[in-house]
């Protein structure tokens, strides 16, 4: 609780104590009025002041004006206890709302508390702590265990495990060593790192993420825009309605020759004003979206605005890019077939022969070999473009490549029925077997597709530039409803256009890609989701929703949070409007008094706010 909230609490307690004391005293007349004005002004002076300023600035119709008119009117009718009580409970509701919003902001600030306070730079007297804004590109900074990496850069010395949970929502540490890129916002858990900065602080990942979260509330959803328009017309309407309720029935009574009962109808009008205060809607709806964005951030899902959160909740079509989204996007050795020698020896020969090549397939062979490659064992290396490599390994001729290479050497290759890139190996002029290399499906991709269908997504589609048979196998393995292969970036846009035309009007289509090669499609879809965007500027800029790691299940988490948020928004709208309409009718009929009005205003607001902050605790997959 901050200082301002503490002051309000003291005023509430003081006013409540005075009112309880006055309730036991036998007071009448001007003395009673004067004494009840003390707790009323203690608790309500700021509301009266805001109402006066609103009138002076010609912005009359707001909740402060409603409270001021209702409570002053109650005092004029001699209902001192009820007039002071209305102001007291209104302030209690405002304090609760302020505390709830503050708590939500603190939760988000804590989970996004990744902004570093300083950077360590080596100077003549040792390490010096400087403002990260003052560090130039190319400067070597030192990050010790327990410190945050302040600026993006490349490790030049040291090894360490990094905690990326503030960015990804996951606690699994990431191991880094010299030569690897690191991004700001991660916490160094072990070891001392020396990092050469590659960006200025203002352009680093941490700054962009914080800017994204801080500005998310500026992009309003349709529900928030509706509430703003609703309040703009609703408040003047109920003020004029209350005036009509106070004047019309008594005048009608006079015309009909009966007693006008001005006091009764003015009291009903004042009760009507208290009930009609739109606090529950005006406060709880933006708070619901704010809490939704915060809950998503805690799960490693950055949503650029409540309008995108609303669109995400209405998603019924999910279109995936394949490489890097559903698959890892890197080649790996998945099997060895028809080998005439031990698998380990075959892999060793292939890795040594390919040790001088920078091709992705060569790197995958060396990675599968899993040991340092002794290039002194390799001689007479010849790389044949589009075919493969020939070399002498320990004095023995080794050929590694495709069907063309085997044909050129006059060696009969054995075909492979499985899908992937086939690397044939010949040793000493004889066929030794082939190695199957493939882009491996992520372990959670199939589960993500299943969970999306459980969540009500009607169709899942996969788009890829790969060959048809590769795409078909991945699609069947994952269970996607539809796939399209051998596509260029422009073809992917065309496919998304076709799906947009076919879907329902209110249903939304989300495209999920890596945010780097898929910027045109991300922009064209109803909502673009960038995966694995940790450190990717293009992803953060192009997408509407950014998933900070490469787990496809985060898509389901994002949709689940968005739907829970929207469900709570509609719950609050229906609940608040329903209760208020019922109480307004009862107030106009004289059945509801000021105490019912207090519940209809403060009680509904408190319940709506409590409901709204539930979004912060949405379940993660």
Active site members: 321
Task: Report the relative pairing of strands 315-321 and 430-441 from DSSP bridges.
Answer: unpaired
In this structure, what token pair is assigned to residue 42? Answer: 């203690």
Q: d(Cα 608, Cα 279) in Å, to the nearest integer?
A: 10
| Three-state helix/strand/coil letters over 111-135 | HCCCCCCCEEEEECCEEEEECHHHC
What interhelical angle do 468-478 and 445-454 show, nearest 10?
60
Q: d(Cα 372, Cα 358) in Å, to the nearest integer?
A: 16
DSSP string, 196-256: EE-S-GGGSHHHHHHHHHHTGGGS--HHHHHHHHHHHHHHHHHHHHHHHHHHHHHHHHHHT
Helix (H) or strand (E) holding 341: none
Cβ atoms of 476 and 577 within 8 Å: the answer is no
Q: What is the dihedral of CA 260, 261, 262, 265, to 10 degrees?
A: -110
CB < 8 Å & 24+ apart, contacts of 76-79: 77/263, 77/266, 77/267, 77/270, 79/267, 79/594
The strand ranges marked E within 74-182 are 119-123, 126-130, 140-143, 153-157, 160-163, 174-176, 181-182
Q: d(Cα 484, Cα 19) in Å, to the nearest integer?
A: 73
């Amino acid at each position: 609780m901050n200082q301002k909230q503490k002051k309000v609490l003291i005023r509430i307690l003081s006013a409540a104590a005075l009112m309880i004391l006055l309730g036991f005293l036998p007071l009448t007349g001007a003395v009673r009025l004067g004494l009840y004005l003390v707790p009323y002004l203690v608790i309500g002076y700021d509301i009266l002041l805001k109402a006066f300023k609103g009138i002076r600035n010609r912005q009359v119709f707001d909740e402060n004006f409603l409270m001021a008119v209702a409570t002053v009117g109650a005092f004029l009718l001699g209902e001192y206890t009820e007039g002071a009580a209305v102001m007291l409970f209104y302030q209690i509701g405002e304090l609760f709302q302020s505390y709830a919003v503050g708590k939500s902001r603190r939760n988000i600030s804590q989970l996004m508390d990744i902004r570093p306070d300083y950077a360590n730079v080596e100077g003549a007297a040792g390490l010096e702590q400087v403002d990260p804004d003052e560090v130039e590109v190319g400067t070597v900074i030192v990050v010790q265990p327990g410190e945050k990496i302040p600026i993006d850069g490349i490790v030049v010395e040291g090894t360490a495990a990094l905690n990326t949970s503030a960015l990804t929502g996951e606690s699994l540490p990431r191991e880094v060593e010299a030569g690897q890129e690191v991004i700001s916002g991660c916490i160094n858990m072990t070891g001392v790192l020396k990092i050469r900065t590659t960006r200025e602080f203002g352009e680093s990942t941490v700054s962009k993420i914080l800017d994204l979260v801080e500005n998310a509330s500026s992009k309003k959803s349709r529900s928030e825009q509706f509430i703003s328009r609703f309040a703009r017309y609703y408040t003047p309407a109920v003020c004029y309605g209350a005036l009509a309720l106070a004047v019309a029935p008594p005048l009608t009574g006079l015309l009909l020759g009966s007693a006008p009962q001005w006091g009764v109808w003015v009291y009903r009008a004042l009760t009507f004003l208290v009930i009609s205060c739109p606090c529950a809607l005006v406060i709880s709806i933006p708070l619901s979206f704010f809490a939704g964005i915060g809950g998503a951030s805690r799960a490693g899902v950055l949503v650029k605005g409540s309008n995108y959160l609303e669109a995400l909740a209405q998603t019924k079509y999910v279109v995936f890019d394949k490489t890097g989204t559903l698959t890892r996007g890197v080649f790996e050795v998945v099997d060895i077939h028809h080998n005439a020698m031990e698998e380990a020896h075959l892999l060793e020969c292939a890795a040594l022969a390919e040790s001088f090549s920078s091709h992705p397939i060569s790197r995958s062979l060396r990675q599968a070999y899993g040991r340092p490659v002794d290039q002194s064992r390799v001689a007479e290396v010849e790389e044949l473009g589009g075919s493969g490599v020939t070399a002498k390994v320990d004095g023995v001729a080794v050929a590694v490549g495709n069907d063309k290479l085997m044909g050129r050497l006059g060696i009969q290759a054995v075909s492979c029925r499985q899908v992937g890139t086939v690397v044939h190996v010949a040793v000493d002029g004889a066929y030794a077997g082939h190695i199957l290399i493939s882009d491996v499906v992520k372990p959670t991709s199939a589960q993500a597709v299943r969970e999306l269908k459980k969540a009500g997504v009607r169709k899942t589609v996969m788009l890829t530039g790969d060959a048809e048979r590769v795409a078909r196998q991945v699609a069947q393995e994952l269970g996607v409803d539809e796939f399209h292969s051998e596509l260029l970036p422009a073809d992917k846009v065309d496919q998304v256009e076709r799906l947009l035309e076919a879907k329902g009007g209110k249903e939304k289509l989300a495209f999920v890609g890596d945010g780097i090669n898929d910027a045109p499609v991300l922009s064209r879809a109803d909502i673009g989701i960038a995966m694995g965007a940790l450190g990717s500027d293009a992803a953060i800029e192009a997408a509407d929703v950014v998933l900070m790691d490469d787990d496809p299940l985060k898509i389901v988490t994002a949709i689940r949070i968005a739907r829970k948020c929207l469900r709570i928004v509609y719950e609050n709208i229906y609940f608040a409007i329903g209760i208020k309409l019922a109480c307004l009718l009862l107030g106009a009929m004289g059945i509801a008094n000021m105490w019912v009005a207090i519940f209809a205003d403060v009680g509904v607001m408190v319940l709506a706010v409590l409901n709204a902050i539930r979004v912060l605790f949405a379940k993660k997959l």
